[in-house]
C-alpha cells in the first residue's frame, strides 16, 4: 500500500453572496451565511502549547471559523483536545474515508 492519498477534486466558485462547492454531482449551493461542517485534518497533536507552526495555524483557523458560525471538527493525532470543536483521532493505518465523520461538507487538509 502506498503512502499517497487520493481525494476527489473540490472546486470552489464565489458568486456574489454564494459559495458553490462540488466534488461530483450533485452541486450544493452555500450562502455565505449558511453554516458549514468543516473538518480540519492534520497528523499532529493539538493544542500545541510550547511549539507548533501548522498546529497553531489550524487551531486559530478553527477558532475563527467557529466564531463565524461554522461547525468545526478536527481529525488529528491521538491525545488531542479542543474546547471549541469536536476532535476525532486520526489513525494512519485505517482508510481515510472511513475516518471522516458523517455530515462533513468541507475538508481542510494540512501537511
pLDDT by residue for the chain (111 residues), tens only, comes to 334 344 444 444 444 444 444 444 344 555 566 789 999 999 999 998 888 789 999 999 999 999 999 999 999 999 999 999 999 999 999 999 899 999 999 899 886
- The pLDDT value recorded for residue 37 is 94
Total Cβ atoms within 10 A of residue 26 = 6
Report the distance separating Cα 89 and Cα 53, nearest Å.
20
Asked if 85 and 72 touch (Cβ cutoff 8 Å), the reply is yes
- The pLDDT value recorded for residue 110 is 81
- The pLDDT value recorded for residue 63 is 95
Asked if 75 and 104 touch (Cβ cutoff 8 Å), the reply is no
Report the distance separating Cα 98 and Cα 54, nearest Å.
24
- The pLDDT value recorded for residue 65 is 93
- The pLDDT value recorded for residue 11 is 45
Amino acid at each position: 500500500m502506498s503512502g499517497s492519498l487520493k481525494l476527489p477534486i473540490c472546486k470552489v466558485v464565489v458568486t456574489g453572496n454564494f459559495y458553490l462547492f462540488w466534488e461530483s454531482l450533485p452541486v450544493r449551493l452555500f450562502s455565505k451565511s449558511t453554516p458549514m461542517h468543516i473538518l480540519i485534518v492534520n497528523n499532529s497533536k493539538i493544542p500545541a502549547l510550547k511549539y507548533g507552526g501548522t498546529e497553531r495555524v489550524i487551531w486559530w483557523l478553527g477558532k475563527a471559523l467557529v466564531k463565524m458560525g461554522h461547525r468545526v471538527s478536527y481529525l488529528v493525532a491521538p491525545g488531542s483536545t479542543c474546547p471549541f470543536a469536536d476532535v476525532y483521532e486520526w489513525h494512519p493505518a485505517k482508510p481515510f474515508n472511513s475516518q471522516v465523520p458523517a455530515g462533513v461538507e468541507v475538508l481542510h487538509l494540512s501537511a
